[in-house]
């Protein structure tokens, strides 16, 4: 019995106001309170402010400054949608997700399946795949520049087969390179998710499949893949969200979304407009649109992939 | 049960509303439009407009750049001031780390915790800081305008804002010159003491020879990335030279599509098309490691390129302007007085103290950067005699051009950079239509205010 429980004799037939408001276990509010405050301050309020800003000609001003930031309706949204750079960025997000999400699911699942077996140096490989994920993007980008710049190692090996212009300044290759980089960098995390999911699949399912004469490939396809379906949903949703928010890669790997905007991303445009140029209303409108689209795509992915049985 | 749940929900909603309401009070800026009259959240002196120089005397704080030479200069100047002003002590720190100083300053203005003075205020960012009402008009001090104009002479007019006031005091300049590696030039069979770099044709010819005949793989290697400030190190010095000292926006007219700008665009397009400048960002200092035979740089190069045997000339022009008549980009930094400052009179007095003849000499001697004042070569003639490598930069100081102080300045430069990237660097458009479209868009941005 909790400390707050009272007998009918004590409280009569009517609950006290405190109990009606806070329920049988008011201490639960105390436990949840800090997180609720955290969520309100760092998630709900910024979201509210972003939506608010997006309908105004907004810029950041000094405290107490008397400035005009009038309500302009949907003008910011109209300008965002009409902006060719935004359309290019949206296309880039599409390219990114098309490459990154399937590649992440397939490679992470296969690697996790391999690491789930009794391989030599298994612990080393598990750690090795995780290293890029926990290493700062700036450092990892330096490695990729070393590999894929015009005079980089890859071009040295390829010789005349190297693309011209080189990978990171090539209109056709810049976005795929960014998607590949992100896939490689994030892979360790997704491998870990799959590994955890695979270790929860009952061994009896594999034994039953063996009794039925299933090959290794068949066991993977018919036992492992369905067994990690909920993780696949999570991986797809997370990879989609990460993909839509890519920023560091075009900022550092391709010199600010180059070549000539071929790898520009919505978040990079938001950074330029909101932080560099002070046009926070426009940036907020783009952010709100991005959030809506990401939620829609993630929701659709979840609807398609989740196991409704 | 339903009643209880509803009550709980109501209480939670009320709590949420209160939290959001509390957060809203801390939001920056009042609304001229009317619906959220935010209060100044405890910042010193916040809440007034930039024209108000009111405010008393007392302790102040300042920020300065994070390079060791400037830190040394600042510490010495502050020590000298503090020794004589027990009731007006100056405390200082480096500008907090961030992607750029401008972002950090903008955030500090918004948060109301900017210091009184920042000794690294970019002239290009001044219009946006003004719009935020983060800057105090220096010219509103009794002796503000005369101090600036006496110090700067005719150059001062380049730093006035749209309302005619000065919201910055130009402090130092790093005139951008063309450095060349004498050893690489000699290796390519060029005269290292008098290389042919006066005209565009000479530049292109020299560039080809040095790439073909030396260890350098690039003739010149400006960053080809898309940041708004990159034109200041490829386009703008050459434009200043070609136009004979015009700013990109001259008397309200954008000159991005005038013949001088197009001439600069065309020659750089040739440089990129001929492979004389790489289209991919360098991973190290290409001039220092000998990858590039030339570089655009200011007097900071003297200490940075101590291991390189370099020479220096002004930017070339189409007709080969005499070096003593060539203009270039100033790459100046100003001092800004921020509205969060309570003791503005002290801040103003300290600003003048820090820019005295004596402290400007200290700046020159400690950092090698040029105080942005008239007569530098005469005032500090002994220094340039002892340090002749700085003399060409000091001579150039009389012929520098600042970025235009116009509304939406950063967006204006970004627009130009995008046009430069697509036409000059990557050749996806002809230079003229790209620059013409950009000029039109830049004019609109300035007109928007």
Q: Is A218 on the interface with B (CB under 8 A)?
A: no
* A3 pLDDT higher than 50: no
CA angle (B421 as vertex; A284, A84 as ends), nearest 5: 40
- Nearest CB to B280 within list A61, A67, A149: A149
B385 Cα to chain A: minimum distance (Å): 41
Partner-chain contact A65 B132, CB within 8 Å: yes
DSSP H or E segment with residue B386: helix B381-386
CB A52 within 8 A of CB A287: no
- Confidence category of residue A129, pLDDT binned at 50, 70, 90: confident
- Confidence category of residue B11, pLDDT binned at 50, 70, 90: very low
- Confidence category of residue A17, pLDDT binned at 50, 70, 90: confident
pLDDT at B4: 46
- B179: helix, coil or strand? strand
Distance CA B339, CA B115 (A): 9
A69 Cα to chain B: minimum distance (Å): 6
Partner-chain contact A255 B40, CB within 8 Å: no
pLDDT at A16: 78
- Confidence category of residue B43, pLDDT binned at 50, 70, 90: very low
CA angle (B304 as vertex; B118, B317 as ends), nearest 5: 90
Residue with tokens 């190692």: A153
Residues of B in contact with A275 (CB under 8 A): 103, 106
In this prediction, residues B219-242 reach a mean pLDDT of: 96
pLDDT at B100: 82
Interface test with B, best of A49, A65, A151, A254 (most B CBs within 10 A): A65
B48 Cα to chain A: minimum distance (Å): 6
List, as ranges, residues 138-167 from B with C-beta within 8 Å of A: none
* A6 pLDDT higher than 60: no
CB A251 within 8 A of CB A268: yes
Q: Which residues contact A36 (CB under 8 A, 6 or more apart)?
A: B15
pLDDT in tens, B302-313: 999 999 999 999
Partner-chain contact A59 B8, CB within 8 Å: no
pLDDT at A90: 94
Q: Is B76 on the interface with A (CB under 8 A)?
A: no
Partner-chain contact A65 B133, CB within 8 Å: yes
* B5 pLDDT higher than 80: no
Partner-chain contact B128 A149, CB within 8 Å: no
* A180 pLDDT higher than 80: yes
Residues of A in contact with B31 (CB under 8 A): 67-69
Helix, strand, coil percent values for chain B (each to nearest 5): 45, 15, 40
In this prediction, residues B313-321 reach a mean pLDDT of: 97
- Kindly write down the DSSP assignment for every residue of chain A, as one continuous string: --TT---HHHHTTSPPHHHHHH-S-THHHHHHHHHHHHHIIIIIHHHHHHHHHHTB------TT-EE---B-TTHHHHHHHH-HHHHHHHHHHHHHHHHHHHHHHHHHHHHHHHHTS--TTHHHHHHHHHHHHHS-HHHHHHHHHHHHSTTSHHHHHHGGGS-SS-GGG-TTTHHHHHHHHHHHHHHHHHHHHHHHHHHTS-HHHHHHHHHTT--HHHHIIIIIHHHTHHHHHHHHHHHHHHHHT--HIIIIISTTT-STTTT--HHHHHIIIIIIS--HHHHHHHHHHHHHHHHHHHHHHHHHHS---
Rounded to the nearest 5°, which phi and psi values hold at B362? -60, -40
Which residue of chain B comes nearest to A64, CA vs CA? B47
* B341 pLDDT higher than 60: yes
Residues of A in contact with B410 (CB under 8 A): 276-278
How many other C-beta atoms are found inside a 10 Å radius of the C-beta of residue A244?
22
In this prediction, residues B293-310 reach a mean pLDDT of: 95
- Nearest CB to B46 within list A59, A62, A149: A62
Distances in Å between the Cα of B348 and the Cα atoms of A191, B73, B76, B141 are 60, 19, 18, 8
Partner-chain contact B280 A45, CB within 8 Å: no
Residue bearing the bigger pLDDT, B120 or B209: B209
Partner-chain contact A260 B426, CB within 8 Å: yes
In this prediction, residues A262-282 reach a mean pLDDT of: 94
- Nearest CB to A70 within list B33, B49, B426: B33
Partner-chain contact B410 A41, CB within 8 Å: no
Partner-chain contact A21 B279, CB within 8 Å: no
What is the percent of chain A where pLDDT is above 90?
A: 69
**CA-closest candidate to residue B332, choices B121, B162, B66, B145:** B121
pLDDT in tens, A149-173: 988 999 999 999 999 899 999 999 9
Q: Is B133 on the interface with A (CB under 8 A)?
A: yes
- Nearest CB to B134 within list A36, A62, A256: A62
CB B333 within 8 A of CB B120: yes
pLDDT at B267: 98
Distance CA A186, CA A289 (A): 25
pLDDT in tens, B352-370: 999 999 999 999 999 999 9
Burial string for B117-151 (b: 16+ CB within 10 Å, else e) reads: bbbbbbbbbbbbbbbbbbbbbbbbbeebbebbeeb
Distance CA B159, CA B332 (A): 11
* B274 pLDDT higher than 70: yes
What is the percent of chain B where pLDDT is above 90?
A: 82
* B42 pLDDT higher than 90: no
Query: Which stretch of A264-273, B51-60, B155-164, B386-395 has the lowest confidence by average pLDDT?
Result: B51-60
- Confidence category of residue B12, pLDDT binned at 50, 70, 90: very low
Distance CA B117, CA B107 (A): 15
Q: Which residues contact A78 (CB under 8 A, 6 or more apart)?
A: none
Residues of A in contact with B125 (CB under 8 A): none
- Kindly write down the DSSP assignment for every residue of B236-269, as one continuous string: HHHHHHHHTS--SEETTEE-TTSHHHHHHHHHHH
Residues of B in contact with A278 (CB under 8 A): 106, 128, 131-132, 410
Distance CA B124, CA B417 (A): 14
Q: Which residues contact A2 (CB under 8 A, 6 or more apart)?
A: A24, A25, A27
The mean pLDDT of chain B is 89
Residues of A in contact with B114 (CB under 8 A): 62
Q: Which residues contact B41 (CB under 8 A, 6 or more apart)?
A: A63, A64, B25, B26, B28, B112
Q: Is A196 on the interface with B (CB under 8 A)?
A: no
Confidence (pTM): 0.86
Q: Between helices B344-354 and B68-84, what is the axis angle to 10°?
A: 120
B291 Cα to chain A: minimum distance (Å): 12
- Nearest CB to A64 within list B20, B47, B226: B47
Residues of A in contact with B33 (CB under 8 A): 56, 68-71
Query: Where do runs of H (alpha helix) occur along B177-258?
Result: 182-187, 200-213, 235-243
* B53 pLDDT higher than 80: no
* B35 pLDDT higher than 80: no
- Nearest CB to A59 within list B33, B103, B131: B131
Dig out the tokens for B210 from the structure. 């040095």
Interface test with B, best of A57, A64, A146, A263 (most B CBs within 10 A): A64
Q: Is B49 on the interface with A (CB under 8 A)?
A: yes
CA atoms within 13 A on the CB side of B25: 7
Partner-chain contact B133 A48, CB within 8 Å: no
Query: Which stretch of A7-21, A75-89, B175-189 has the lowest confidence by average pLDDT?
Result: A7-21
In this prediction, residues A57-80 reach a mean pLDDT of: 94
Distance CA B366, CA B372 (A): 15
Four-CA torsion A118, A124, A127, A128, nearest 10 degrees: -110
In this prediction, residues A87-106 reach a mean pLDDT of: 94
Distance CA A124, CA A126 (A): 5
ipTM of this predicted structure: 0.83
pLDDT in tens, B411-445: 999 999 999 999 999 999 999 999 999 999 999 99
Partner-chain contact B4 A20, CB within 8 Å: yes
pLDDT at B294: 98
- Nearest CB to B280 within list A15, A71, A166: A166
The mean pLDDT of chain A is 89
Partner-chain contact B103 A275, CB within 8 Å: yes
Distance CA B46, CA B352 (A): 23
How many other C-beta atoms are found inside a 10 Å radius of the C-beta of residue B275?
14
CB B283 within 8 A of CB A145: yes
pLDDT at B44: 42
- Nearest CB to A150 within list B3, B28, B278: B278
């Amino acid at each position: 019995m909790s400390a707050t429980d009272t007998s009918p004799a004590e409280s009569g037939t009517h609950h006290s106001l405190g109990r009606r408001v806070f329920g049988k276990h008011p201490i639960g509010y105390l436990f949840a309170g800090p997180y609720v405050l955290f969520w309100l301050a760092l998630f709900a309020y910024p979201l509210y402010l972003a939506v608010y800003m997006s309908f105004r000609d907004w810029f950041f001003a000094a405290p107490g400054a008397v400035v005009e930031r009038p309500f302009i309706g949907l003008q910011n949204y109209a300008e965002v949608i009409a902006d060719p750079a935004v359309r290019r960025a949206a296309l880039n997000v599409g390219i990114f997700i098309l490459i990154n999400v399937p590649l992440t699911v397939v490679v992470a699942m296969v690697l996790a399946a391999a690491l789930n077996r009794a391989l030599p140096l298994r612990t080393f490989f598990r750690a090795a795949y995780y290293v890029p994920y926990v290493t700062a993007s700036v450092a990892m980008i330096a490695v990729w520049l070393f590999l894929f710049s015009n005079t980089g190692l890859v071009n040295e090996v390829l010789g005349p087969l190297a693309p011209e212009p080189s990978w990171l300044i090539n209109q056709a290759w810049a976005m795929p390179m960014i998607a590949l980089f992100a896939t490689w960098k994030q892979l360790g995390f997704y491998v870990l998710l799959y590994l955890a999911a695979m270790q929860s699949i009952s061994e009896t399912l594999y034994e039953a499949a063996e009794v039925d004469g299933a090959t290794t490939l068949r066991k993977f396809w018919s036992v492992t893949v369905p067994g990690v379906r909920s993780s696949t949903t999570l991986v797809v949703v997370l990879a989609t969200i990460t993909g839509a928010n890519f920023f560091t890669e075009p900022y550092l790997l391709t010199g600010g979304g180059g070549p000539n905007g071929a790898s520009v991303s919505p978040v990079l445009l938001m950074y330029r407009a909101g932080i560099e140029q002070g046009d926070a209303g426009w940036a907020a409108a783009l952010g709100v649109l991005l959030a809506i689209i990401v939620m829609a795509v993630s929701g659709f992915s979840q609807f398609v992939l989740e196991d409704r049985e | 049960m339903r009643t209880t749940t509803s009550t709980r929900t109501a209480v939670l909603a009320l709590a949420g509303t209160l939290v959001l309401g509390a957060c809203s009070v801390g939001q920056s800026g009042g609304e001229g439009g009317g619906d959220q009259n935010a209060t100044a959240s405890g910042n010193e002196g916040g809440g007034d407009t930039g024209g108000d120089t009111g405010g008393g005397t007392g302790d102040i704080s300042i920020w300065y750049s994070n390079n060791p030479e400037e830190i040394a200069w600042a510490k010495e100047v502050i020590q000298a001031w503090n020794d004589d002003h027990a009731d007006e002590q100056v405390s200082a720190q480096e500008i907090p780390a961030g992607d750029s100083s401008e972002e950090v300053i903008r955030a500090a203005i918004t948060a109301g915790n900017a210091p009184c003075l920042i000794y690294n205020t970019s002239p290009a960012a001044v219009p946006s800081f003004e719009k935020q009402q983060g800057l105090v008009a220096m010219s509103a001090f009794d002796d503000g305008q005369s101090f600036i104009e006496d110090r700067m002479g005719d150059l001062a007019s380049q730093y006035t804002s749209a309302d005619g006031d000065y919201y910055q005091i130009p402090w130092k300049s790093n005139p951008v010159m063309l450095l060349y590696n004498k050893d690489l030039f000699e290796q390519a069979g060029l005269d290292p003491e008098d290389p042919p770099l006066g005209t565009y044709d000479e530049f292109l010819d020299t560039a080809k020879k040095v790439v073909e005949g030396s260890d350098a793989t690039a003739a010149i290697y400006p960053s080809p990335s898309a940041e708004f400030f990159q034109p200041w190190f490829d386009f703008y010095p050459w434009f200043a030279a070609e136009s004979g000292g015009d700013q990109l926006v001259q008397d309200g007219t954008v000159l991005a599509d005038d013949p001088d700008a197009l001439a600069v665009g065309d020659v750089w397009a040739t440089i990129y098309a001929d492979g004389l400048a790489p289209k991919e960002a360098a991973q190290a200092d290409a001039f220092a490691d000998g990858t590039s035979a030339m570089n655009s740089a200011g007097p900071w190069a003297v200490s940075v390129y101590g291991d390189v045997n370099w020479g220096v000339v002004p930017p070339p022009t189409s007709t080969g302007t005499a070096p003593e008549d060539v203009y270039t980009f100033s790459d100046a930094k100003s001092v800004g007085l921020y509205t969060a400052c309570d003791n503005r009179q002290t801040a103003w007095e300290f600003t003048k103290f820090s820019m005295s003849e004596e402290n400007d000499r200290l700046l020159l001697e400690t950092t090698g950067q040029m105080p942005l004042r008239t007569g530098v070569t005469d005032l500090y003639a002994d220094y340039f005699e002892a340090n002749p490598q700085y003399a060409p930069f000091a001579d150039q100081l009389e012929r520098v051009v600042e970025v235009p102080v116009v509304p939406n300045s950063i967006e204006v430069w970004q627009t130009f950079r995008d046009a430069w990237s697509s036409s000059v660097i990557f050749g996806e458009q002809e230079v003229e239509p790209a620059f013409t479209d950009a000029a039109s868009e830049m004019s609109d941005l300035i007109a928007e205010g």
